[in-house]
Amino acid sequence: MSAGFLLVLSGPSGSGKGTVSEKLMAKNDNIIFSTSVTTRTPRPGEVNGENYFFTTIEDFEQMVEEDELLEYAFVHTNYYGTPKKFVFDEIEKGEIVFLEIDVQGALQIKEKYKEAVFIFLLPPTMDELKFRLIKRDTESEEEINTRFRNAFKELDFVGEYDYFVVNNTVDDAVADIENIIAAEKLRVKRHKDIKKEIMAEKGEEL
């Protein structure tokens, strides 16, 4: 009596979605991490089909043309995308597929596949967001300010999502997402015939 679904965790840069995702996946080994397809060269130790599906630019662009991706982006010199086949195959098996992605990517997915569950991760405060961006220490003040303004603008898109989670602490945010997953498993709309299911499962007939 379980029906799979795609869970999309998204939020602005500095919301902490990477850390929250890591903790969520570490705690829940029954959730399948969505594997991306990319044109970048594998790093030592990376396994095709595990870390990424590695492919050529030509093949990637053909996937785009044939609408085989839920979303994609061109970052620096490489393509990254989410293959429909992987996601839909796992959902078909009843699995929960998890995808952590930026706001632009999530909005692309929503256009193609609104049946996914969309969670927007919010920073606890704008001060904290700025603090997190500064803490990265890899960017100039100008870059930090640009990121901060972008993050502030991206908060406008929270209305497009199903749920919001405030990242006060990583543990609280993970617990909120776990609650959402537990509730979404009980959604009627993902089941064709619950009455039949409940009886078939028990091998009963009236």
> Could you give the C-alpha distances from 108 to 33, 111, 160, in angstroms and in order?
19, 5, 11
**Minimum distance from residue 176 beta carbon to a copy of itself (Å):** 6
**Minimum distance from residue 28 beta carbon to a copy of itself (Å):** 14
- Catalog residues that contact a copy of itself under the rule CB under 8 A: 1, 120, 122, 124-127, 152, 155-156, 158-159, 161-166, 176, 179-180, 182-184, 186-189, 191, 194-195, 198-199, 202, 204, 206
Q: Name residues whose C-beta falls within 8 Å of residue 198's C-beta, 6 or more positions apart in sequence.
A: 1
When the beta carbons of 5 and 163 are compared against a copy of itself, the nearer one is 163
Q: Is 11 annotated as a binding residue?
A: yes
Q: Is 14 annotated as a binding residue?
A: yes
Distance, in Å, from the CA atom of 137 to the CA atom of 20, rounded to the nearest integer, reads 20
Q: Is 36 annotated as a binding residue?
A: no
When the beta carbons of 32 and 177 are compared against a copy of itself, the nearer one is 177
Q: Is 12 annotated as a binding residue?
A: yes
Beta bridge partners of 117: 7
**Minimum distance from residue 62 beta carbon to a copy of itself (Å):** 36
Q: Is 13 annotated as a binding residue?
A: yes
| Ramachandran bin of 137, using left for φ above 0, alpha for ψ from -120 to 50, beta for the remaining angles | left
**Minimum distance from residue 132 beta carbon to a copy of itself (Å):** 15
Spell out a b/e string for 179-198, using b for 16 or more CB atoms within 10 Å of the CB, else e.
ebbeebeeeeebeeeeeeee
Q: Kindly give the residue spans of alpha helices, DSSP state H, lying in 72-140.
A: 84-92, 103-112, 126-135
User: Do you know the residue count of the chain?
Assistant: 206
When the beta carbons of 134 and 158 are compared against a copy of itself, the nearer one is 158
**Minimum distance from residue 69 beta carbon to a copy of itself (Å):** 26
When the beta carbons of 72 and 161 are compared against a copy of itself, the nearer one is 161
When the beta carbons of 75 and 198 are compared against a copy of itself, the nearer one is 198
Distance, in Å, from the CA atom of 8 to the CA atom of 201, rounded to the nearest integer, reads 30
Maximum pairwise Cα distance, the chain: 71
Q: Is 15 annotated as a binding residue?
A: yes
Binding-site residue set for ATP: 11-18
